[in-house]
Amino acid sequence: MHIKEEKAERHTLAVIVDNEPGILARIAGLFTARGYNIESLTVSEITEDKQVSRITIVTSASPHVLEQIVAQLDRLVPVHKVRDLTAEGAHVERELALVKVRGTGEARIEALRLAEVYRARVVDATISSFVFEVTGGTEKIDKFVELMNEVGLIEVARTGIVAISRGKDAA
């Protein structure tokens, strides 16, 4: 016997939650308990009184499971609302990465040249290294990291995706 899997689609969800203790465990735990995927998860307070957080989750699932994910998230008591940004139309996704690169001579010049192409900023420099800050979509950052790998990549820190819908309305 073999176990079959349904075809998955990648969706970005925005989850607005009450900022209570354990909320992140509740959400992450829901995904593991019900066998859903998390590709990326970011969380931050978004109101002045620090009472509300916005969680951006990138998940892969079949359309049927995606509907369940949204419904299951919405059912949690501290959740204000859940939006499937991918399903609801145009939205912007951004990620920030800090990329540490080692290099001297030609490699060092090449790293700077590539950074300029990718609009990466130098946020730290030594005689033999740089830390670049780069923002953009996931693909752009993947590509930048791949190029830096050839020049002399040491390590990468990435925020994961944050996303917001286009246009004047809130999610």
Partner 1 sequence: MAEKSGADILVEALCDLGVEVVFGYPGGAVLPIYDAIFKQKRLRHILVRHEQAATHAAEGYARSTGKPGVVLVTSGPGATNAVTGITDALMDSIPMVVITGQVATHLIGSDAFQEADTVGITRHCTKHNYLVKDPARLGATIHEAFHIATSGRPGPVVIDIPKDVQVATAKYTRPGPIQHKTYRPQIKADPAVIEQLVDMLAAAERPILYTGGGIINSGPAASLLLRELAKITGAPVTSTLMGLGAFPASSPQWLGMLGMHGTYEANWAMNQADLILALGSRFDDRVTGRLDAFAPNARKVHVDIDRSSINKTVRIDLGIVADVGHVLEDMVRVWKARQHPKPDTNEWWRRIEGWRAVKSLDFPEGDGKEIMPQRAIRALWEATHSQAPIITTEVGQHQMWAAQHFDFEAPNKWLTSGGLGTMGYGLPAAIGAQLGNPKALVIDIAGEASIQMNIQELATATQYRLPVKIFILNNEYMGMVRQWQELTYESRYSESYSDSLPDFVKLGEAYGWKGILIEEMSQLDGGIADMLAHDGPVIVDCRVAKLANCFPMIPSGASHVEMILQTDKVAGTLNDEAKALV
> What are the Cα distances from residue 125, in Å, to 99, 100, 118?
12, 9, 18
Identify the residue among 10, 75, 121, 166 touching partner 1 (CB under 8 A). Answer: 75
Return the number of the residue (31 or 118) whose C-beta is nearest partner 1: 31
Q: Tell me, rounded to whole angstroms, the distance of Cα 156 from its chain centroid.
A: 14
Return the number of the residue (79 or 151) whose C-beta is nearest partner 1: 79
Check residue 120 and report its DSSP letter. Answer: P
Which residues, numbered 104-123, are part of the site for partner 1 (CB under 8 A)? Answer: none
Is 77 one of the binding residues for partner 1 (CB under 8 A)? yes
Provide, rounded to whole angstroms, the least separation between the CB of residue 158 and partner 1: 28
Identify the residue among 9, 45, 74, 88 touching partner 1 (CB under 8 A). Answer: 74
Size of site (CB under 8 A) for partner 1: 21
Phi/psi of residue 62, nearest 5 degrees: -70, 160
Provide, rounded to whole angstroms, the least separation between the CB of residue 76 and partner 1: 8
Phi/psi of residue 127, nearest 5 degrees: -60, -30
Provide, rounded to whole angstroms, the least separation between the CB of residue 22 and partner 1: 6
Among positive and negative, which fits the CA dihedral 154, 10, 74, 72?
Answer: negative
Is 35 one of the binding residues for partner 1 (CB under 8 A)? no
DSSP per position, 58-108? EEEE-HHHHHHHHHHHHHSTTEEEEEEHHHHS-EEEEEEEEEEEE--THHH
Return the number of the residue (23 or 120) whose C-beta is nearest partner 1: 23
Identify the residue among 64, 90, 117, 167 touching partner 1 (CB under 8 A). Answer: 64
Widest CA span of the chain, in angstroms? 59
DSSP reduced 3-state for 28: helix
What residues line the site for partner 1 (CB under 8 A)?
1, 17-18, 21-22, 25-26, 29-30, 33, 64, 67-68, 71-72, 74-75, 77-80
